[in-house]
Structure 1
Amino acid sequence: MSIRSLEEIGNKKELSRDLNKLAVIYEYLGRLDEAEKECREAIRIYPDFAVAHNNLGVVLYDLKRYDEAGEEYREAIRIYPDFAVAYNNLGVVLYNLKRYDEAGEEYREAIRINPNYAVAHYNLGNLLNARGRKEDAEVEYREALRINPDLAEAHGNLGILYWKTGKKEDAKKELEIAKRLFDEQGREADVKKTEQLLKSLKV
C-alpha cells in the first residue's frame, strides 16, 4: 500500500471520529435525527468504525427502532469481537424485545470480556430478577456495586429486591443510598421517584 493510500485512510479515520464525536453530542442533547445523520456519515466515510456502529445503535435504540439498533450492535461486534459495550447494548435491545435468553447470553459475554463491567452485571441482575431468580439477581447487583459503589440504579433495584424478600431494613438502606447518589448526580426526577418509593413501601 502506498504512503498516499495510508494517509487517505488516516484522514478518513480522523474525519469519521470527528463526526462520531459530533453525533455523541447531538445524542446527549436529544437531537436524535441529527445524531443519526452524523453517525451514518461517519460510517459511510469509514465503514469499519465499530464505535460509530455502536453509537448509531444507541441513537436508534433511543428512537425505539430496536431491530435496527440490534443490527448496528451486531455489526460493531463483527468488526471488533471483544467490544463488551456492544454486547451489553445488544443485550438491552433483546431484553426490550422480550428475547430474554438471548439477552442473558449477551450480558454474560460482555462480562466474560470485561469482568469488571458494572453496568453489564446490573443489567444481568435486572434480567434474573424479572425471571424470578432473586438470589442470582442479588449476586449480580452486589457485584455491580462492588465494582462501582456509585451506581445508583443498582442500589435502588437491590433495595426493591430486598423489600420483596422481606429484608426491610436492608431495603431502606439501599434506597436511601440510591436517593443520595441520585441527588449528588443532579438527577432530580430519580430523587423524587425514590422518595415516593420509600413512602409507598413504608420502609
Structure 2
Amino acid sequence: MQDQIVVDGQNHLSSGTNSGLPITGSPIVLKMNDVPQLSSVGLLELAHREYQAGDYENAERHCMQLWRQDQTNTGVLLLLSSIHFQCRRLDKSAHFSTLAIKQNPLLAEAYSNLGNVYKERSQLQEALDNYRHAVRLKPDFIDGYINLAAALVAAGDMEQAVQAYITALQYNPDLYCVRSDLGNLLKALGRLDEAKNTISIYSNLFQSPKLKNQVKYKFYKA
C-alpha cells in the first residue's frame, strides 16, 4: 500500500514503496515576478498545484516566500514537509512536520507525515507511535489508518494491520486499493472466506465506471 502524504489536510499518494518518484504531470513554471499580485491564500494554492504537478522546486520556493511572511501557517508547514519528503530530504521533512506540531499539537496530519519519515528510515516503532497518535487525534483520519496498516505489516503485526484497514473502510467503503490490500492480507493469514468476500467487493467496485476512471488516474499518477 502506498504511503499517504498529507498536504494541508489533503492526501497525496507517494510513489510505490516510498520510492520518491515525482508525481506525473506538466510542471507549472512561473517566475516570482509573475505572481506578486497573488494573496497569501492564492500563492499557497499555486504551491499546491505545483506540488501536485511534480514541480517541487517552484512549490518549495513559493512556500518559503509564504513561510518568511508567517512562520505559524500550518498549511505551509505541512506542504513543505511533503515537498521535502518527495525529494528524499527526510531531515527537512521531519523538521517542518515538527514545526507544524509545535504550532498545533492537535494536527493529526503532521504526526502522520512525521510517521512517514520514520517509516522510510525503518524506525517502525516511532512510525507506529506517530500514526497511532494521529488517528487518536482524528478518529476519522482515513489516511492515518492506511499508513498505520502499512507500518503494521512492515512490523509483522498482521492482525492489527487487518483492523486498521477495516477501520479505514468503515469511513469509506469505496477504497478499492485498501480492499485489495486487505484481501491479500487476509489470504496470507489463511482467512480465505473473508479474503474472498473482500476481493469480491473490490472487483465490483472496479467495475464501476466512476471508479474505473479513478483507478486509471491514480495508477497514472503513481
TM class by shorter-chain length? Answer: 0.7 to 0.9
Show the counterpart of 1:125. 149
Consecutive unaligned residues of structure 1, counting only runs of 5 or more, are 1-13, 193-203
Specify whether residues 142 and 64 from structure 1 end up closer, same or farther in structure 2 by C-alpha distance, changes over 3 A only. Answer: same
Moved more, 33-42 or 179-188: 179-188
Pairwise CA distance, 1:52: 0.2
Moved more, 14-23 or 137-146: 14-23
Matches within 5 A, 1:50-61: 50-61=74-85
2:161 & 2:41 partners in 1: Cα distance? 37
1:69 counterpart = 2:93: yes
Specify whether residues 132 and 87 from structure 1 end up closer, same or farther in structure 2 by C-alpha distance, changes over 3 A only. Answer: same
Specify whether residues 39 and 179 from structure 1 end up closer, same or farther in structure 2 by C-alpha distance, changes over 3 A only. Answer: farther
| Amino acid in the other structure paired with 1:37 | R
Specify whether residues 177 and 189 from structure 1 end up closer, same or farther in structure 2 by C-alpha distance, changes over 3 A only. Answer: farther
Pairwise CA distance, 1:21: 1.1
Show the counterpart of 2:214. 186
| Amino acid in the other structure paired with 2:42 | D
Specify whether residues 130 and 47 from structure 1 end up closer, same or farther in structure 2 by C-alpha distance, changes over 3 A only. Answer: same
2:116 & 2:84 partners in 1: Cα distance? 13
1:41 & 1:190 partners in 2: Cα distance? 30
2:205 & 2:118 partners in 1: Cα distance? 29
3-state SS of 2:46 partner: helix
Show the counterpart of 2:123. 99
1:90 counterpart = 2:90: no
Structure label with greater radius of gyration: 1
Consecutive unaligned residues of structure 2, counting only runs of 5 or more, are 1-37
1:33 & 1:169 partners in 2: Cα distance? 48
Show the counterpart of 1:148. 172
Show the counterpart of 2:49. 25
RMSD: 2.2
Show the counterpart of 1:78. 102
2:219 & 2:195 partners in 1: Cα distance? 16
1:85 & 1:76 partners in 2: Cα distance? 9
Pairwise CA distance, 1:105: 1.0
Kindly provide the CA deviation profile for residues 47-97 of structure 1, in whole angstroms up to 9, marking residues without a partner as x. 111110111111111111112111111111111111111111111111111
1:168 counterpart = 2:189: no
Instruction: Give the TM-score taking structure 2 as reference length.
Output: 0.73
Instruction: Give the TM-score taking structure 1 as reference length.
Output: 0.79
Work out the percentage of aligned pairs sharing the same amino acid.
Answer: 29
Specify whether residues 106 and 172 from structure 1 end up closer, same or farther in structure 2 by C-alpha distance, changes over 3 A only. Answer: same
Which residue, out of 137, 141, 146, partners 1:113? Answer: 137
Specify whether residues 175 and 93 from structure 1 end up closer, same or farther in structure 2 by C-alpha distance, changes over 3 A only. Answer: farther
Q: How many residues align?
A: 179
1:62 & 1:178 partners in 2: Cα distance? 29
Pairwise CA distance, 1:185: 4.5
